[in-house]
């Protein structure tokens, strides 16, 4: 199904923020099993776009395709007007298409501050210069501290990442992805397993992040999706069954059936 948001003509649509990441006809087969099929997506600047759907719907696979961790079996991906269908993952990250992982991916035995400083010296940060001199790492401290301030982790900057609460680890993970200064941030279940308080904190961080960049997020908590996301694409068995704002997708019959009897209606 074609994403109704995808059209470029028409006066009303011209007012929409520009599309920074788009996919057309995305497909991925795994040994005869079609995990993703006919997926069209338009991710827009300064918008929060949710990708939702039952377990196994293909959400993470779509993320892997968009960030080039997996090669598509068919389809085309454009990022900032550039065809990245066959680009390498490191290249798309350098261009500003950055993801976090469903499983937390920070360095547990480094401090919170050092986790962010290490992230800052990756491509997109100051480059590979820090091995030349330890003091180069110090150059990154102000920016790292600023990022930690933004996400509310400044007071915990000298703790080991391992000693943070689960929710704060996820927040640190977001800070390390922000260190790469993404144009589009892809978040795979950023609130998974969090308590209410941390969900609220992360929602505010994401809202802040999306003021000057695009966010595409996989999220199971439909209340979060309703509150936070401007546009929702619903996947089921690898295919888009609905797309639109929350009111549109939540009243869609196919979506209601897809979600019936699942654990998502919290």
Ligand X SMILES: Nc1ncnc2c1ncn2[C@@H]1O[C@H](COP(=O)(O)OP(=O)(O)OP(=O)(O)O)[C@@H](O)[C@H]1O
What residue ranges bind ligand X (CB under 6 A)?
A: 30, 33, 35, 53, 55-61
Question: Which of 22, 60, 177, 221 is the binder for Mg ion (CB under 5 A)?
Answer: 60
Nearer to ligand X, 61 or 67 (CB): 61
Residue whose tokens read 């389809």: 75
Residue with tokens 């798309």: 92
CB of 37 vs ligand X, minimal distance in Å: 11
Contact segment (CB under 5 A) with Mg ion among 54-62, 105-113, 156-164, 203-211 equals 54-62
Residue nearest Mg ion, Cβ-based = 60
Judged by beta carbon, residue 60 or residue 67, the one nearer Mg ion is 60
Partner whose footprint covers residue 166, from ligand X, Mg ion, none (CB < 5 to 8 Å by kind) = none
x/- letters, 102..131, toward Mg ion (CB under 5 A)? ------------------------------
Window contacting Mg ion (CB under 5 A); options: 17-25, 52-60, 83-91, 177-185:
52-60
**What is the Cα–Cα distance from 254 to 233, expressed in whole angstroms?**
13
Q: Which is nearer to Mg ion, 175 or 186 (CB)?
A: 186
135 makes contact, choosing from ligand X, Mg ion, none, with CB < 5 to 8 Å by partner type, with: none
Torsional class of 189: left (φ above 0), alpha (ψ -120 to 50), beta (otherwise): left
CA distance 84 to 71: 11
100 binds Mg ion (CB under 5 A): no
Q: Where are the beta strands (DSSP E) in the chain?
A: 19-30, 33-44, 48-52, 74-79, 82-83, 97-99, 184-188, 214-218, 231-236, 239-244
**CB 195, CB 167: distance < 8 Å:** yes
Binding at 56: pick from Mg ion, ligand X, none (beta carbon under 5-8 Å per type)? ligand X
Whichever of 154 and 237 has its CB closer to ligand X, that residue is 237
d(CA 158, CA 179): 18
How far apart CA 232 and CA 51 sit, in angstroms, is 6
Residue closer to Mg ion (CB basis): 60 or 115: 60
- CA 153 to chain centroid: 20
Q: Does 221 bind Mg ion (CB under 5 A)?
A: no
The entry of Mg ion, ligand X, none near residue 125 (CB within 5 to 8 angstroms by kind) is none
Choice between 60 and 121, CB closer to ligand X:
60
With beta carbons less than 8 A apart as the criterion, state whether 150 and 178 touch: yes
Report the chain's terminal Cα–Cα distance, integer Å. 28
Which residues form the interface with Mg ion (CB under 5 A)? Answer: 59-60
């Amino acid at each position: 199904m074609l994403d109704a948001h995808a059209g470029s003509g028409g006066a009303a649509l011209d007012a929409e923020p520009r599309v920074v990441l788009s996919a057309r006809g995305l497909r991925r087969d795994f040994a005869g099993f079609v995990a993703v099929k006919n997926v069209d997506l338009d991710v827009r600047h300064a918008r929060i776009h949710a990708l939702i759907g039952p377990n196994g719907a293909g959400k993470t696979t779509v993320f892997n395709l968009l960030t080039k961790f997996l090669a598509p079996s068919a389809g085309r991906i454009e990022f900032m007007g550039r065809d990245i269908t066959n680009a390498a993952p490191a290249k798309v990250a350098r261009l500003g298409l950055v993801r976090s992982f469903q499983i937390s991916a920070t360095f547990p035995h480094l401090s919170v501050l050092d986790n962010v400083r290490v992230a800052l010296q990756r491509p997109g940060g100051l480059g590979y210069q820090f091995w030349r001199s330890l003091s180069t790492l110090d150059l990154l401290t102000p920016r790292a501290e600023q990022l930690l301030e933004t996400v509310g982790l400044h007071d915990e900057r000298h703790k080991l990442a391992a000693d943070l609460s689960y929710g704060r680890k996820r927040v640190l993970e977001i800070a390390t992805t922000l260190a790469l200064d993404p144009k589009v941030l892809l978040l795979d279940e950023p609130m998974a397993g969090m308590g209410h308080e941390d969900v609220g904190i992360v929602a505010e961080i994401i809202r802040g992040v999306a003021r000057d960049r695009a966010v595409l997020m996989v999220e199971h908590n439909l209340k979060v999706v309703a509150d936070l996301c401007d546009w929702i694409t619903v996947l089921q068995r690898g295919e888009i069954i609905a797309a639109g704002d929350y009111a549109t997708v939540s009243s869609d019959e196919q979506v209601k059936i897809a979600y019936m009897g699942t654990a998502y209606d919290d």
